[in-house]
With several copies, the nearest count.
Chain A
Amino acid sequence: MYKAFIFILRKELLLALRQKTDVVTVLFFFLIVSSLFPFAVGPDLNTLKIIGPGVVWVGALLCSLLALHRVFETDFSDGSLEYLVLSGEPLTVLVLAKIGSHWLITGLPVVIVAPLIGLQFGLSAGSLSLLLITLLLGTPVLSLMGSIGAALTLGVRGGAALTSILILPFYVPVLIFGAGAVVADLQGLSIEGHLSILIAMLCLSVALVPIAVANAIKIALE
């Protein structure tokens, strides 16, 4: 079981490395979204400081959404999803591995680059580290929640669009509490509530999402 997890992870990462598509596109997207803003908005540091956390969080969300449709879609259309189901390993574990690699490919790079972007927006060290923490807690939730949408829309006509519609309700709270924490901190308010909610969302989704996704995949293959 543990071995199967590692194998899927390795395969996904090798694929990403081979295609380079996913990692680079995502980073590019993120950089475009966030670094074009100072450009488009003008260089006023006060404005930038206020919109900084929001821009970074929206960028992270878009990156996650962007690569989402492909988490299971290629496997579905080239027939390898069937092998996952028929491997005999618990599907929830395999699914978790796939979601994990989605996060490693779309979430982690964003988390790593975020401080750089934050600097561009003139965020203080305290805000930056808080931003980093919320991203570390929040982006896995995005990958997890998103994969439900991706799995439910496999082989369905309006795939990508439907995915966005389905997962938006799950993304919005993450964004609100993620970006909200940084903004609240800037305003000198307590952020404990925000962080504990993010943690709760993370725990809940790690526990429940793989089950939902595994079932959705089985349904899609029928």
Chain B
Amino acid sequence: MAVFFFLLASILTVWGLYVGFFVAPTDFQQGESYRIIFIHVPAAWMSMLIYLIMSFWAAIGLIMNTRLSSMMAHALAPTGALMTFIALWTGAFWGRPTWGAWWVWDARLTSELILLFLYIGYMALRASIEDPRRADRASAILALVGIVNVPIIYFSVQWWNTLHQGASVSLTKSPSMATSMLTGMLVMALAFWMYSIAVSLIRVRRIIRDREANAAWLSDSSGVQ
């Protein structure tokens, strides 16, 4: 199944990059540099979305005491951190030509950086607790506490007047950009989705295998769905 999603991801990436770099028109304000948007925006979206999904699974694991959902949360964290890192990095790369600085302490940038810290904290906490069940629960609490950060990232451009761009894709308003730009972005977003699913599936399978090897007898106990 993971292979299928990988395949899908690569096809979509090729398509998305093609649309983004060859079909979409040059921006009249920013020139060519705006094309970073095709990586930046999908990565930023995914970084938040994966955090939400991760917290969801962690919460389920905490409340229902189901191991598989905690493993899902565990498997999602590195991908989320990667997406956050990409969003930050491409953002900084983009900021140089447009704002004249790699970094400013703007609300969206800061909260996105905090998201990266949260992912790192989550993984560090997991790594330092030996007993996997304790690690599940402790890291779930951290994930849940950190969830307040996601709306802050998303709405920061509305709540504070910032340097960063406001939302340009919205379900309620008609899009304010060229259709080909929009297509490129959406296709790339879909590609990132597929990639995340594929990688997380592979990782969760490995986690299950490791844990089962560690405690073969667990397989018949109540926790596993």
* Chains A and B in contact, CB within 8 Å: yes
Asked if residues B121 and A169 are in contact (CB atoms below 8 Å), the reply is yes
Q: Which residue of B lies closest to A164 (CB)?
A: B121
Does B144 reach chain A (CB closer than 8 Å)?
yes
Asked if residues A165 and B145 are in contact (CB atoms below 8 Å), the reply is no
Contacts of B120 in A (CB 8 A): 165
Number of interface residues of A (CB under 8 A): 27
Asked if residues A168 and B128 are in contact (CB atoms below 8 Å), the reply is no
Contacts of B164 in A (CB 8 A): none
Asked if residues A156 and B141 are in contact (CB atoms below 8 Å), the reply is no
Stretch from B34-42, B67-75, B110-118, B212-220 at the A interface: B110-118
CB distance from A108 to the nearest CB of B (A): 23
For the residues of A in contact with B, the DSSP-based class is: helix
Contacts of A3 in B (CB 8 A): none
Q: Which residue of A lies closest to B133 (CB)?
A: A222
Asked if residues A152 and B134 are in contact (CB atoms below 8 Å), the reply is no
Asked if residues A216 and B124 are in contact (CB atoms below 8 Å), the reply is no
Number of interface residues of B (CB under 8 A): 26
Distance, CA A220 to CA B144, complexed state (A): 17
Q: Which residues of A from 145 to 159 have beta carbons under 8 Å from B?
A: 148, 152-153, 156-158
Distance, CA A99 to CA B111, complexed state (A): 26
Q: Which residues of A from 70 to 87 have beta carbons under 8 Å from B?
A: none
**CB contact under 8 A between A219 and B134, given known A165-B121, A212-B145:** yes
Asked if residues B145 and A158 are in contact (CB atoms below 8 Å), the reply is no
Does A39 reach chain B (CB closer than 8 Å)?
yes
Chain A interface residues (CB < 8 Å from chain B): 39, 43, 148, 152-153, 156-158, 162, 165-166, 168-170, 172-173, 176, 193, 204, 208-209, 212, 215-216, 219-220, 222
Task: Give the 5 A-B CB pairs with smallest separation, nearest first.
Answer: A169-B117, A169-B114, A166-B121, A219-B137, A156-B128
